[in-house]
Chains A and B, each alone.
Chain A
Amino acid sequence: MSAPLLETRGLGRNFGALLAVHDINFRLEAGARHALIGPNGAGKTTFINLLSGVLQSSTGQVIFKGDDITEMPEAARVKLGIARTFQINRLFRGLSVLENVYIAVAERTGIAPSKLRPAGTRKNVVDEAMHMLETVKLQDAAGSLVSELPYGRQRLVEIAIALGLRSEVLLLDEPAAGVPSAETHIILDAVAGLPKHIGVLIIEHDMDVVFRFAERITVMVAGSVFTEGTPEQIRADERVRAVYLGQEAHRGAAHG
């Protein structure tokens, strides 16, 4: 088997005595549409923090395309092609929606350090940022301050920033949390519109979204991988139903 896009070996992280993430062996293949589910406090966010370099691991390795990036700082991982969104918005609140995405695109295209030509006259960067906003249906709010938008639309800015990085790995931490259900399709459509080779990992509680989106599902419980499989396998797994899915699984099954 060829090297996966992103891989972890025995990855772990503790907070004091708490093993938030424990001994995780995980593979994200190129082109994957992978969901990570599990009850609150299972360690899903911590796991993504380890993948993206927001947190340093206590044990184990993170490997990107065969290279060990365990020690690599967050910004360098972004440059390699690993982007993420945050469960709780991390936005440039005092700036306009367009500026928020502009900043991401400017970093990716490498023009951010330039000091002479005005930012707004970098037409290709502005165009691309506007295009990302179209992708998440925010073009009409481009001129507004982020802090003036309702929370659900701020979530879409969060996505647009990550899209602007044009990464090879996209890690989405509950992107639809707080988005009105009528608008969750915007997020799924945006992800569906990504180039096929990108590996996407999504944490999501809404089982409708998970089963519609994912081709593979990993279930985490209490810091460890409980099981992994195709949506059909996960849906049929009685143990998963017992520890996590409960009634939600029936609802998801009824939809599927």
Chain B
Amino acid sequence: MTAPAPAVAEHPAALALAGRHRVRIWEPLPWLLAIAFYFLFPKYLGFGTDLLVTILFALSLDLVLGYAGIVTLGHAAFFGAGAYTVGMLAKYGIWTEPITGLVIAAAVAAAIGFVSGLILLRTTGLTLLMLTLCTMALLEEAANLGQEYTGGFDGLDSVPIDPVFGIFEFNPLFPNTQYLYVLGVLFLCFIFIRTLVYSPFGQSLTGIRENMLRMHAVGAPVRMRLVLCYTISAAIAGIAGALWAQANAYVNLSALGLDRAATVLIILVLGGCGRLYGAFVGAIAYMALSHFLAKIYPTAWQLGLGLLLVIIALFARNGILGIFQSFLHRLKAKRARSS
């Protein structure tokens, strides 16, 4: 075959592919809002910290579910692994420095992700779903039974954490440090994930999601790719869990239960899978909705949330961001027609 003509690179589709990773004009917005929140709502920084941790956790799930198409109901296993790692290390005075603590938590969660991934990712669909659930249940039971080390059902509280950079103290009453610290870590992790999903590796993950059989037929080592993706995602979920433990100065079983795993799944589906910002939109929408619904129906608010989820699953497969995108799409088409 002859060498490709130079003109093909100027094709609109090639240009679109070459430019899709560029920073869009609105992308600084969530970060500006997060900083504005710090100054505008000093009383709600605890809530804000929780929200940021949840966003990071949802982002880690987006990598496996939204990009690689791995259906998991057990992602809180890694969140919990990270949380218990920093919690136990600090409680027993082995390691209290926060940033290196995150690195250790990420490594532990990644190791669990790698080993379980090697086994689980041979399967797909419902089997995979059940196995992820079992892995999480196993860890939860281990944390429950290992009372001597994990504090069992009560967990560990008053976990001592050193000041960030040796200067900024974590104060449970005024979580200013926690908020900015978590925001900084979220930002770094986000840049990492964003880079990853736009890379050829990220593109191959979407190939696996769209048609795993065809991926084999183009020579891709599908299982190794999935295991790697699962491991990276586990590490990020582990960081989210570690941040949660550090910011709250406690760990308990709620870190790795089905409740947390299901909630993060709902958040991602609500916001929109496989589109990075779905984690942000979903987390904010979920927190706002559950707050609002709990006020008007204090007893049955979860019912409203479940109903909403059914509606999203039936009519808006791509979540809130998907609705927004198709609206923009239609607006553009309309403008193109009228001009």
User: Which residue numbers of A lie inside 8 Å of B, CB to CB?
Assistant: 52, 54, 73-76, 78-79, 83-84, 86, 90-99, 102-104, 106-108, 111-123, 125-128, 130-131, 134-135, 139, 142-143, 161, 164-165, 193-195
Give complex CA distance A119, B16 in Å. 11
Give complex CA distance A114, B196 in Å. 9
Contact A94 B198 (CB under 8 A): no
Give complex CA distance A75, B218 in Å. 7
Contact A122 B214 (CB under 8 A): no
CB distance from B215 to the nearest CB of A (A): 8
Contact A98 B14 (CB under 8 A): yes
In the complex, the number of residue pairs spanning A and B with C-beta atoms less than 8 Å apart equals 158
B119 at the interface (CB under 8 A from A): no
CB distance from A132 to the nearest CB of B (A): 9
Residue numbers in B under 8 Å from A195 (CB-CB) = 1
Give complex CA distance A79, B217 in Å. 10
* Residue in contact with A120 in the complex, picked from B4, B17, B217, B221, CB distance below 8 Å: B17
Residue numbers in B under 8 Å from A95 (CB-CB) = 206-207, 210
CB distance from B332 to the nearest CB of A (A): 14
Overall SS of chain B's interface: helix
Residue numbers in A under 8 Å from B213 (CB-CB) = 90
Residue numbers in A under 8 Å from B9 (CB-CB) = 123, 126-127, 130
Q: Mark B4-30, 1 if CB is under 8 A from A, else 0.
A: 110011011110111111000000000
Contact B1 A120 (CB under 8 A): no
Residue of chain A at shortest CB distance from B7 = A130
| 27 examples of A-B residue contacts, CB within 8 angstroms | A75-B216, A75-B217, A86-B214, A86-B217, A102-B17, A103-B204, A106-B200, A107-B219, A108-B219, A112-B200, A112-B203, A113-B201, A113-B204, A113-B225, A115-B199, A117-B199, A117-B200, A119-B17, A119-B199, A126-B17, A127-B14, A130-B13, A131-B5, A139-B11, A161-B218, A193-B1, A195-B1
B310 at the interface (CB under 8 A from A): no
Residue numbers in A under 8 Å from B326 (CB-CB) = none
Max chain A Cβ within 10 angstroms of own Cβ: one of B8, B19, B221: B8
Given contacts A78-B219, A103-B203, A107-B220, contact A91 B214 (CB under 8 A): yes
Given contacts A90-B217, A92-B211, A161-B218, contact A131 B200 (CB under 8 A): no
Contact B18 A120 (CB under 8 A): yes
Given contacts A92-B207, A112-B204, contact A98 B13 (CB under 8 A): yes
Residue numbers in B under 8 Å from A111 (CB-CB) = 200
What 8 A-B pairs are tightest by C-beta distance, nearest first?
A78-B219, A143-B13, A142-B13, A92-B210, A130-B8, A118-B21, A120-B18, A120-B17
